[in-house]
Structure 1
Amino acid sequence: MTSPAPESNSILSLPDDLLMNCVARVSILYYPTLSLVSKSFRSLLASPDLYKTRSLLDRTESCPYVCLRLQSRENPSWFTLCRKPDQALTNMKKKPKPSGYVLAKVSIAHPPPLQSSSLVAVGSNIYNIGGSNPTSSSSLSKFDCMSHTWSEAPSSPVEMFTASAGVLDGKIYVVGSCEDEDSKSLKDTFEVFAYNPKEGKWHQVIMCDYTDSNAYCEIENVLYSVDKLFYGIEFKWYDTEVSRWRRMEGLVLPGTPTHHVRLANYGGKMAVLWEWEEEHLTYSWGGDKKKIWCAVITLERRKNRGIWGKVEWFDHVLTVPGTCALQKVLVATV
């Protein structure tokens, strides 16, 4: 029998540069699990140098972040998609093999209040337009998806109400009503401002109508949305050539969704998260709970036949209290 390997031969005994090079090659989907190994790993995974190494090695990935409000009066909780270790299944004939994806909670000290329509992701950061007051504010806060910390960013030049934000060409476009200086009431039109993260500056753009961006996403210059039907979730896309919405072919997700279905551009694919209440699911101390489901859909544009969707995988990724509300899904690049 051979003696156990000494501690000096463990992976943590490797030189820092070599260890960082190894971890940088691991998929970001395994980082939540790696953070549980030790304090040293948690520190390494929050290091900016690790993500610089990932960039140099061309290992950057799209990473979904999910914002949930577990209780109505609580600040939101954040989760990220991760891979769980492979597990053997005992009854494969009755149960399909799970995808292996789950939502892992992100530890964040003092997350700020927010409204879901004011959250956007650019690069490795998530921006919250609204700061401490989600209904009226000019402030801007930034969530670093590498270190999982919030910080303040330059404020908007104008106080905005009912703000909704989106991203185009790496710039953040914010639509919101503004107060009329003479009447002290809200203007009927909406101001549009663009924030350039690279410059750290705001720019006024145009006036336009307000729209909620929660249940929409843009992928390769095509706008997608969903219809919640009795028998499942149906997808549609906006055809700019004929100026109307069209049904996506070949795809309807099963289940009966509740109020919240959220879409996001997941590296050219579509990430879909939705709530699915099941009456028989109850906590041991009473009260309903529901499941959060996730699907990743590949998209194909066929000549003269519209856009077809194919489910790459879908699975139950988290069980939450019945009071939980799915707020937003954002995809950062880390």
Structure 2
Amino acid sequence: MAVTSETPDGSNGGDPNKKPEDVEKEEEEEENQKEKPEDEEEEEIQYRSISFPNLPHDLTELCVALLRRCNYPSLSLISKGFRTLAASPRLYDARSRLGVTECVLYASIGFPTSSSPSWYILRRDEISLRLCRIDKLPIHWGSAVVTIGPTMYVIGGRSDGKPTSDVTLIDCRFHTHKELGDDIILQISFRQQTLFATSIEISSRILFPREGVWARRNDGEELKSLWKASSCVVDDKLYSIDPLCSLGHPVVVYDPTERTWRSVRGVYGFPTNISDYDSKMANLGGKLVVLAGKSPLFRSDHHGEEEIWCLEIHLERRQDGEIWGNVESIKRVLTSIESPYIEHCRTFTL
């Protein structure tokens, strides 16, 4: 008696109607699926959910990268997929490759009734310029702030009236933070050349990298005379506010090679009542930006409100070596019923 086996012999996958070449193709696809790493599968699924219906995720990523960062919060409301993309380092890598990065200003601002200052970001849209508060990013009164790339280290300060040695790393791309150990201070000290290479002032020292010149606050009366807490560096020149206009103009610049202060000419329309104590300067993409508050000029008589204003100054170096400035805009960026105090002002390219 003949016995017919129901076990497939592998030549056609058990299907008498299936061609051998079809069986080989299916087996090859199954092997590829088995060999594919799990993390790649998860990433592919994640970005597939982000893409527009008829666009591959790589093209979607490039489309989103071309948008301004101020639109990312609204974009994140569309779906979980877009929220994931907006919080992805790949998106910022794409922005860098496309050359569409933006210079962004962050400021820490304190109020008399607050236990600690708060971080604000200067946001610009088609019709306004304003400081917007960022919740849950830590800083203490009197903290030192050091920036490296898209991150900043918030070091020490006073918490609840007591000194603290806390060190916090803040990633300004995603507004996340994490506490670091005390040994990070040693790492920062070890990396001073890297830090100062971006012209960051810390411990009363500053490096002008192109000139290779170090400067200290106690390096002669000439430098110390006009170097204020509100000073900043633009193109290897140290800029400061001179409320008394001792050189004839309200903004002055220090040349590290000549070791002398000069006036920045042509800064017409610069408010005369801005003080160096109540303001902070920053280099915003080559422009000089001044955040000013508490000045009588900027006090509002309506309902006891006080204001912080932002001045944007375009700088130009002329053939004779003189530096000229043009006040492009003066805008109110924050209004409060309290007395805001600007502690820090830092800029990042994101």
The TM-score range, normalised by the shorter chain, is 0.5 to 0.7
Give 1:321's aligned amino acid: I
- 1:320 and 2:336 correspond: yes
Q: 1:309 aligns with which of 325, 330, 343?
A: 325
Larger proportion of helix: 2
Of 162, 178, 184 in structure 2, the residue corresponding to residue 155 of structure 1 is: 184
Pair member with larger Rg: 2
* Structure 1 residues 323 and 41: CA distance shift in structure 2, 3 A: farther
Correspondences of 1:210-225 after superposition (within 5 Å): 214-225=229-240
Q: Partner residue of 1:5?
A: none
Contact 2:250 2:272 in 1 (8 A): no
Once the two structures are superposed, residues 204-242 of structure 1 have per-residue CA deviations (whole angstroms, 9 ceiling, x without a partner) of: x99985988631101111001002359xx9111113455
Comparing both chains, which one has the higher relative contact order based on Cα–Cα distances under 8 Å and sequence gaps of 6 or more?
1
Name the structure 2 match of 1:78: 119
Q: What's the CA shift for 1:62?
A: 1.2
Which residue, out of 131, 135, 141, partners 1:103? Answer: 131
Q: Which one-letter code corresponds to 2:140 in the other structure?
A: P
| 1:112-261 correspondence to structure 2 within 5 Å | 112-115=139-142, 118-130=144-156, 139-153=166-180, 154-157=183-186, 167-170=195-198, 174-175=202-203, 209=218, 214-228=229-243, 234-240=250-256, 242-252=258-268, 253-254=270-271, 256-257=273-274, 259-261=277-279
Deviation string 1:111-150 (CA, Å, 9 cap, x unpaired) is 131425x213222112212267698565532210011012
Q: What is the aligned residue count?
A: 274
Q: Which of 17, 28, 31 lines up with 2:69 in the alignment?
A: 28
Q: Equivalent of 1:60, from 94, 101, 104?
A: 101
Q: 1:173 to 1:239 in 2, by over 3 A?
A: closer
Q: Is the 8 A contact 2:142 2:158 kept in 1?
A: no
Greater alpha carbon shift after TM alignment, 56-65 vs 42-51: 42-51
State the TM-score, normalized to the length of structure 1. Answer: 0.68
**Residue segments in structure 1 that go unaligned for 5+ positions in a row:** 1-9, 87-99, 161-165, 177-191, 195-204, 283-287
Q: Which moved more, 1:209-218 or 1:41-50?
A: 209-218
**Structure 1 CA distance, aligned partners of 2:325 and 2:217?**
32
Whichever residue aligns with residue 151 of structure 1, its letter is K
**3-state DSSP of counterpart to 1:257:** coil
> What 5-or-longer segments of structure 2 have no aligned partner?
1-49, 208-213
Q: 1:307 to 1:104 in 2, by over 3 A?
A: same
**Preserved contact between residue 138 and residue 156 of structure 1 (Cα < 8 Å):** no
Contact 1:72 1:323 in 2 (8 A): no
The structure-2 alpha-carbon separation of the partners of 1:27 and 1:255, relative to structure 1 and needing over 3 Å to count, comes to farther
AA at the equivalent of 1:265: N
Amino acid at match of 1:320: S
Equivalent position amino acid for 2:278 in 1: H
TM-score, normalised to structure 2, is 0.65
1:249 is paired with a residue whose SS is coil
Q: Give the residue type in structure 1 aligned to 2:317.
A: R
CA distance 1:84–1:241, change in 2 (3 Å): closer
**Cα separation, partners in 2 of 1:241 and 1:46, compared to 1, 3 Å:** same
Matches of 2:272 and 2:73, distance apart in 1? 29
Paired residue secondary structure (1:104): strand
Instruction: Report how far residue 29 of structure 1 moved.
Output: 4.2
Q: How far did 1:35 drift?
A: 5.2
Residues 118 and 139, structure 2, Cα contact 8 Å, conserved in 1? no
Aligned to 2:47: none
Indicate conservation of the 8 Å contact 2:196/2:206, yes or no. Answer: no
- Cα deviation for residue 24 of structure 1 reads 0.8
Choose from 10, 15, 19 the match for 2:60: 19
- In structure 1, how many angstroms separate the alpha carbons of the residues matched to 2:260 and 2:215? 24
